[in-house]
Amino acid sequence: MSGPLRIVHYVNQFFGGIGGEDQAHVGVSVRAGAVGPGRVLEKALGDDARVEATLVCGDNFASENEADAARAIGAELDRLKPDVLVAGPAFGSGRYGLACALACKVAQGRGIPAITAMHPENPGASNARRGIYIVPTGASTTSMQAALDALAPLARRLGRGQTLGPSEAEGYMRRGTRRVHDRGRPGYQRALDMLLDKLHGRPYRSEVPYAPPERVSPAPPIADLARARIAMVTTGGLVRKGNPDRQVSANAVRYHRHTVAELESLSPAEWEAYHAGYFNHIVNSNPNYILPLSFLRDLERQGKVGRVHEHIYALPGVSTPVAVSAGHGRSIAADLKAGGVDGALLVAT
């Protein structure tokens, strides 16, 4: 290897020594050498590595002007050309965690390996852990030394162009990626060993990790339905008759928003289902079975529901990856919120 490993370190305004929340608006600036936690990082890295420069950016600036921050970080990286970018650790700080993830993505986009560290529940980790290397830390700065001790050897190897092994062996957070490799023994032998371990009550580790579904805090109750704006969403693949919007019948890449402001009911002459996961003909005779507009209009007339929202949302909820579905859900929810909706009925076939 030629020469010492050259590292650029990204920190926020606090760790960069500019100031606290009152300085969170400052843009990207550069300091020569290591600053603050960078000195601890340099020690953890050992002799043949040095922090060449430190990029400092205010957390508010990074989160409010993401594109500008990314551009400025990118420009500095183009100039400095480090072997590896280290960001953080951000611990439990949400904006800092997101900024560290951003810095890593900018570096990786330029072919520069990058790694950061933060608490597993930091939004930066939940948003970006699939794309970048993140070493888990405690929630507060008291775990600084441990975090950098864990991060440094990984940063060294990344900087030398090496590939990291699986997360469970290397200690970074699972990225949800799988790489083909030889486990040495065929699957049936490993499966039988696992079964024997299970039957004997010995510990064993499944090769198929279980990913528990995301938990969402329940929305608070609506105080008065008679004053509430209620929307309807369906995963039953509701389309306008003849499918003029060309919705797919499975693996939804988008959702469709339709206006029902003028409608009393969903007529089978105007609406139908296009969904590869169930027998659509019954819905085609009465589309209100998967989007109960006729019922809500009656309740609206009776004053039991304040207002039926003018837009409905539809997609075929079949063979769609969870991550894609979550994206559709977030986007629909944001649209409902922006539309002043108080509650929504989601009909799932």
Q: Using CB under 8 A, list all residues that contact another protein.
A: 213-216, 218-223, 225, 228, 230, 236, 278-280, 282-283, 285-286, 288-290, 292, 295-296, 298-299, 304-305, 342-343, 345-349
**CB of 166 vs another protein, minimal distance in Å:** 27
Q: Which is nearer to another protein, 32 or 223 (CB)?
A: 223
Query: Which helix (H) or strand (E) segment is 240 a member of?
Result: strand 238-240
Nearer to another protein, 146 or 299 (CB): 299
Q: Give the DSSP H/E element, type plus range, for residue 114.
A: strand 114-118
Spatial neighbors of 265 by CB under 8 A, at least 6 apart, are 288, 293, 294, 297
**H or E element in which residue 31 lies:** strand 29-32
Name the 3-class secondary structure at 14. coil
Minimum CB distance to another protein, residue 316 (Å): 13
Q: How far is the CB of 343 from another protein (least distance, A)?
A: 4
Nearer to another protein, 187 or 213 (CB): 213
Angle at the Cα of 77 from the Cα atoms of 84 and 6, rounded to 5 degrees: 35
Which of 75, 324 has the CB closer to another protein? 324
Smallest distance from the beta carbon of 345 to another protein, in angstroms?
5
Structure tokens at 331: 């986007």
Q: How far is the CB of 292 from another protein (least distance, A)?
A: 5
- The sign of the CA dihedral 120, 174, 68, 338 is negative
Closest CA relative to residue 292, chosen from 308, 270, 276: 308
Residues 127, 315: Cα–Cα separation, whole Å: 24
- Residue 342 CB, nearest approach to another protein (Å): 8
**Cβ distance to another protein smaller for residue 124 or 236:** 236
Q: Closest CB to another protein among 117 and 252?
A: 252
Cis peptide, bond prior to residue 89, ω within 30 of zero: yes
Please state, as a whole number, how many other Cβ atoms lie within 10 Å of the Cβ of residue 41: 26
| Closer residue to another protein (CB): 63 or 286 | 286
**To which residue do tokens 């990626």 refer?**
177
What's the closest the beta carbon of residue 119 comes to another protein, in angstroms? Answer: 22
Structural contact between residues 109 and 92, judged by C-beta atoms closer than 8 angstroms: no
In whole angstroms, give the CA distance from residue 61 to residue 72. 11
Neighbours of 333 (CB within 10 A): 16
- Decide whether 65 or 286 has the Cβ nearer to another protein: 286
Min dist CB 223 to another protein, Å, is 8
> Can you tell me the distance from the alpha carbon of 282 to that of 69, in angstroms, rounded to the nearest whole number?
53
